[in-house]
């Protein structure tokens, strides 16, 4: 789980998901982007982004990721992902 970053942006992570399979070429284009401050990990058709500074200052925004990957995607911040997971878990209980 991502650790707290700072008071203003306490969840420096984002999950980007697509219903389309990510192509090897798209993944290669994304991974060719070199960032000293941000990182991403691709798992299936999801990209998990870690913002080590301020998210608004990062190039790893949804439109940039869509452009590099060549697919439409939706992004949710880490707090939203955790809230949705908690809600789903509560429904199962």
- The predicted-structure confidence for 27-36, as pLDDT tens digits, reads as follows 999 999 878 8
Q: Which of 51, 46, 47, 39 is nearest to 10 (CA)?
A: 51
Q: Tell me, yes or no, whether 8 lies in a domain.
A: no
Query: What's the confidence (pLDDT) of residue 9?
Result: 40
* Domains: count for the chain: 1
pTM, rounded to two decimals? 0.75
Alpha-carbon gap, residue 84 to 76, rounded angstroms: 10
Cα–Cα–Cα angle for 49, 54, 55, nearest 5°? 40
The yes-or-no verdict on residue 5 having pLDDT over 50 is: no
The answer to whether residue 5 sits within a structural domain is no
**39 in a domain, yes or no?**
yes
pLDDT digits (tens, 9 = 90+) for 13-61: 888 888 889 999 999 999 998 788 888 889 888 898 988 888 888 889 9
Range of the domain at 30: 13-92
Is the CB of residue 46 less than 8 Å from the CB of residue 69?
Answer: no
Q: Is residue 7 part of a domain?
A: no
Q: Is the per-residue pLDDT at 71 higher than 70?
A: yes
Tell me whether residue 72 is in a domain: yes
């Amino acid at each position: 789980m991502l650790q707290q970053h700072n008071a203003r942006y306490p969840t420096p992570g984002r999950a980007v998901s697509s219903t389309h399979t990510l192509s090897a070429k798209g993944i290669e284009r994304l991974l060719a982007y070199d960032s000293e401050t941000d990182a991403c990990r691709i798992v299936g058709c999801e990209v998990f982004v870690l913002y080590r500074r301020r998210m608004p200052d990062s190039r790893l925004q949804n439109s940039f990721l869509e452009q590099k990957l060549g697919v439409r995607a939706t992004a949710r911040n880490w707090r939203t992902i955790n809230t949705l997971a908690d809600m789903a878990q509560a429904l199962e209980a």
